[in-house]
């Protein structure tokens, strides 16, 4: 299972306060509508900076690239819907910004370490144990830890599953 540690550090104090306000504006927009497409071009327009400057500054300020931040938000929302609703998994995938169930399922498993249906079943079993814990603590504990890009994580896992070539005996 994936590590559920905090994924975004506090903004760095060394950034220009005006730039930080602009970056926070884009981050707030992603939070409010994480199901929408947020290419860097759109986020840069929201922040009123160039695309390259936005991408570099966002990562400097929040510790993760904008796409990874958005992915974290989508997974977080999907986990909440899986835990708290009876919606079909396809509906949850579409509501949280994925265009296909396959992509949602694969990405969800890569990030959380389990399938959406597996998480739902496990959460239902454990629900009664969390009734006395404040919701903010539960939410923080379930936040996905995206410290590595999903594509990099897949490459690492693929490399770990490959068997080393056999050595031939010298005669």
> What pLDDT is recorded for position 5?
42
Q: Is 15 helix (H, G, I), strand (E, B) or coil?
A: coil
| Distance, CA of 107 to CA of 114 (rounded, Å) | 10
> What pLDDT is recorded for position 52?
93
> What pLDDT is recorded for position 123?
86
Helix (H) or strand (E) holding 57: helix 51-62
| Distance, CA of 45 to CA of 29 (rounded, Å) | 12
Q: Provide the residue-wise pLDDT of the chain in tens; the chain has 171 residues.
A: 444 444 445 555 567 899 999 999 999 999 999 999 999 999 999 999 999 999 999 999 999 999 999 999 999 999 999 999 999 999 999 999 999 999 999 999 999 999 999 999 998 887 766 667 787 877 777 777 666 677 777 777 777 766 555 555 554
Task: Pick one of 1.10.3720.10, 1.50.10.10, 1.10.10.60, 1.10.580.10 as the CATH number of 76-149.
Answer: 1.10.10.60
What separation in angstroms does the CA of 151 have from each of 30, 46, 68, 107, 130?
21, 27, 11, 9, 33
Q: Are the beta carbons of 82 and 92 closer than 8 angstroms?
A: yes
Domain ranges in the chain?
Answer: 76-149
| Distance, CA of 93 to CA of 149 (rounded, Å) | 20
């Amino acid at each position: 299972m994936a590590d559920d540690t905090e994924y975004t550090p506090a903004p760095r104090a060394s950034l220009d306060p005006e730039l930080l306000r602009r970056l926070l504006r884009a981050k707030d927009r992603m939070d409010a509508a994480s199901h929408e497409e947020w290419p860097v071009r759109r986020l840069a327009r929201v922040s009123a900076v160039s695309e390259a400057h936005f991408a570099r500054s966002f990562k400097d300020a929040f510790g993760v690239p904008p796409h990874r931040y958005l992915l974290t938000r989508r997974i977080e929302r999907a986990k909440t819907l899986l835990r708290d609703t009876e919606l079909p998994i396809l509906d949850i995938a579409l509501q949280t910004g994925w265009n296909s169930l396959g992509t949602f399922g694969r990405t969800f498993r890569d990030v959380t370490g389990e399938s959406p249906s597996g998480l739902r079943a496990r959460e239902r079993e454990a629900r009664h144990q969390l009734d006395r814990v404040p919701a903010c603590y539960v939410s923080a504990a379930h936040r996905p830890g995206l410290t590595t890009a999903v594509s990099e994580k897949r490459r690492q896992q693929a490399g770990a599953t490959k068997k080393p070539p056999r050595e031939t005996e010298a005669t």
